A and B are shown apart, each in its own frame.
Chain A
Amino acid sequence: MTAETSPKCMLLRRLLPCVLAVPLSMLCLSGALAEEFTGSDDLTDLSLDELLSTEITTLSRKSESLGTAPAAVHVISQSDIRRSGARSIPELLRLVPGMQVAQIDGNKWAVTARGANGRFANKLLVLMDGRTLYNPMLSGVQWDSQDTDIAAIERIEVIRGPGATMWGSNAVNGIVNIITKHAADTTGGNVGVSGGMAGYETTVRYGAEAGDSAFRFFGKVFDRDGNVSMSGEDTDDYSEMLRFGGRYDWDGAEDTNFTLSFETYTGESGEYRISRSIVPPYETLEDTYTDISGGFLMATWSHDFSRDSGLKINAYYDAHERDVPTYTEDSDTFDLDIQHSFSAGENHSLIWGVSYRKSSDDTTDSFVISIVPASDERDRISAFIQDEVRLLDGRARLIFGSKFEHNELSDDDIEIEPSARLSFAVTDDQTLWASVSRAVRLPSRGERGGRVTTAIVPPGQPDFPLPVPTVVRIVGNPDMLSENILASEVGYRLRNRSFVLDAAVFYNQFSDLRSLSQGIPTCAPGGGILQLDPTCLFTSTHVEQPLFIENNDSYDAMGAELWVSKQVRENWRLQGGYTYFRTTGAGSGSMLRLGVVEDSPDHQLSLRSSIDINDNLEFDVMLRWIDELEAQQVDSYTSMDLRFAWSPTPSLSIAAVGRNLLAGDHLEFKSELVDLAPIQVEPEGFLELRWSF
């Protein structure tokens, strides 16, 4: 620990005993999100989207001007979703300032905030209606299987920075919460059809309401074409998916609500894979595909005892299966989550909760990838408590608390993830906030027991002059520990009638980060040590070069995020964003220094214009400039999305959408597992027709 960091640690140390000893309180950050809009006394400053998401009881409890959320929060509204023309969740996340989103191929994405991006970006936790989309097998979210009826998403709340105090491990660099619409908000029929240069998509939904109950069902099918290789040839990184789902809502008397939802899906993700073997030609490129299927069933029951107190119980079962040519995975998750919020006196709002999760999986292996043990079953038990304290007559608020988590993926007995956040309303429309928090990223099953072949070096290479091929493998570590972050953030927000400015800077200290160390090469089969007995080469088919996973890296990450939104005219809104990110002090075994690895751009710029030409015409443009990825050797690029929508009648809209324009065919990101060949993303255009009845 350097001298520079000690004050933060002191604060943390002072905070910890309080959190542990006293059952204190908080208003959860998600509550804070709903409230974010009430910073101004004048409700007419808010947009219709914001008014529709304002919680009335929250408003009446704190109707005086109150500091806004003490975190880097951004909400994607329903209008944002519609106007983006996005057909997938990662595309929507491009709208959020500070998010790092890159497309790897036609169905794979690298999505995170605040650094270390990758196909298995493991420090961003993503939830849909409270259900985790994070896959503990190889870490991260597998975006090719995570989708829903995009038009039935109510909003997406994104918090950059740790959210582990409420949401637990892996909410290290950010948390994304996708919230779908209440069934009563999707009554009637709705058909969306889109098609163009790169495939088609159809979504059909029907819902109805009777008395206190409402339901909807939807079906969605799409088939998207692949892109092109680095040499410009068509590749088979297509994506096809059939999804069916539904939701039932019951709003009973006395503030009791019940929701039941489910989805089931099946599909294929094509990929341009690097196929490896110990016989010539060792590495070949081939078009293969992954079979994907899965589904979930979720029930939520909530009851408000009073304006200030409520109980929410959420349970779900989620199953998924992936059949990659080199590996198959079959996972099941059961999760039970109980949260209770209440007020203590005038100035304290508390929330606490307990949760239990049981995960089990079953894998099969191949020469390229294997996981030991092949099957596993584990429990996670966690609890959290958080208090929001209203200070200075509501001008300031302090939110603090901690999560306590026991997980069999981590050797630590209990993970403690505390945070303290403070905001101060400088004036009615300006807020300053600061926070200090700790979070952990759990090792994945793959990191603990995986063996992944990342390269085959053919015999007789100048710098590797052996008579047999060398197989380079990453070897998991059963004793791997959690990665740690101590994050400090400061932010400023200005919000008035026609202008919003949101700025945040952060300094993250990571420790016990995953690293790789080069092991001793051995002959295989046989296992003789090459350096001691080179004659073992005569009886071997290849040499094994292991790279052992350890927890030996640490670095500091820092950055700044700026977002401005200006209502230029009543029918014209401009938004601009800038993100700066850098790391210092990565060790020699650092994943950041090992060629094709997790990586994030130093600079990102975005500009978005939304115009209502008249009552029936909408025109949207989004421009992005993404800096180069140095470690990945990916060039910077500028790209543009366009949408022009016309509603000839109230129940019909027709939109022309262009995506990834200006940049031509361009590389955005390489899969860090080095299992896929790099793909260039192509520009595309499509027409979308939406009809409601």
Chain B
Amino acid sequence: MTIKSLTTSFGCVVIAALMLHTTDAHSQSTAAEVRVKAAIVHKIAKFVTWPESRFVADDAPLRVCVQGDAQVLDAFLALQDRPIRGRLLSVNPAPEPSTAAAACDVLYLTDDEHHSAGEWLDAVAGHPVLTFAEAGGFAGDGSIVSMAIRRDKVRFSINLKANENSQLRIGAQLLQLAAAVGTPGHAP
């Protein structure tokens, strides 16, 4: 086999390859993306300690409130009854902001034109509620954990400032896995 025949056969490959190109763009938020994010929320929650006073009983569930469309809620329902530190997860759609602080231990917010994520975050500020939102979304960096897609993979950042008054303890191991740990308004 000579270099020339090699070059020729690769020329053919180039043409074949270019002809086979499809041009559909990546869809915005796929089911797969939400599934991965839900699984990550579960893993992150394992590294967080809530104050004991938060729970009425030793076996009281850890309440995960999800604000998002049916696809998002579906993905989170896969977490239903999963154990975390001796408690089972209970997944529910997020209630009104005014009751969220009392009803949710974990609050997952997606960007949605009908709701203001900032309103939720304000409502639960100072309460032991672990908040998740899209990085750069309506919630901005106001949530404790923000998630983003970069190069096709999910990345999360932790905002220690947002966690300051929440009484939540975040395990050091988790901070090691975060893409960034920082405070809002300041490039971490």
Contact = CB atoms under 8 A, between A and B. Distances in A.
Contacts of A63: 31-32
Contacts of B40: 48, 51-52
Contact of B179 (A184, A342, A650): A184
A49 B26 CA distance: 24
B42 interface: yes
A385 B17 CA distance: 11
Contact of A23 (B12, B33, B38, B39): B12
Interface in A51-79: 51-60, 63, 78-79
B77 to A, nearest CB: 12
A182 B151 contact: yes
Given A52-B40, A188-B188, A344-B20, A43 B26 contact: no
B22 A251 contact: no
Contacts of A414: 1-3, 6
B152 interface: yes
A60 B32 contact: yes
B153 A52 contact: yes
B25 A306 contact: yes
Nearest to B22: A306
Interface stretch (A233-241, A328-336, A612-620): A612-620
Contacts of B49: 615
B78 A188 contact: no
Interface in B23-69: 23-26, 30-33, 35-36, 38-40, 42-44, 46-47, 49
B188 to A, nearest CB: 5
A305 B21 contact: yes
Contact of B44 (A20, A48, A340): A48
B39 A43 contact: yes
B167 to A, nearest CB: 14
Interface in A1-51: 20, 23, 42-44, 46-49, 51
Interface string B155-188: 1100010000000011111111101111000011
A257 B153 contact: no
Given A414-B3, A615-B49, A651 B175 contact: yes
Interface residues of B, number: 60
Chain A at the B interface: mostly helix, strand, loop or mixed? mixed
A549 B153 CA distance: 49
A59 B32 contact: yes
A653 B175 CA distance: 11
Contacts of B31: 60, 63
B17 A342 contact: yes
B172 A309 contact: no
Interface residues of A, number: 66
A184 B46 contact: no
Contacts of B125: none
Contacts of A692: 175, 181
A347 to B, nearest CB: 13
Contacts of B38: 43
Given A48-B44, A616-B172, A56 B154 contact: yes
Nearest to B11: A23
A20 B23 contact: no
Contact of A20 (B9, B79, B149, B175): B9
Contacts of B154: 51-52, 54, 56
Nearest to A58: B152
Contacts of A612: 171, 173
Contact of B171 (A23, A59, A615): A615
Contact of B21 (A254, A342, A653): A342
B22 A210 contact: no
B32 to A, nearest CB: 4
Nearest to A151: B176
Contacts of A342: 17, 20-22
Interface string A259-301: 0000000000000000000000000000000000000000000
Interface in B72-113: 78-79, 82, 85
A46, A48, A340, A651 — which one has the most chain B CB atoms within 10 A of its CB? A48
Contacts of B35: 43, 59
Given A23-B9, A55-B153, A208-B187, A413 B2 contact: yes
Interface of A: 20, 23, 42-44, 46-49, 51-60, 63, 78-79, 82, 182, 184-185, 187-188, 208-210, 251, 254-255, 257, 304-309, 340, 342-344, 350, 352, 354, 381, 383, 385, 404, 406, 413-414, 416, 570, 612, 615-616, 618, 647, 650-651, 653, 692
7 contacts: A20-B1, A54-B36, A208-B187, A209-B180, A413-B2, A414-B6, A653-B176
Given A54-B154, A185-B155, A414-B3, 10 more contacts: A23-B16, A51-B43, A184-B150, A187-B180, A342-B22, A352-B13, A404-B6, A612-B173, A615-B170, A650-B175
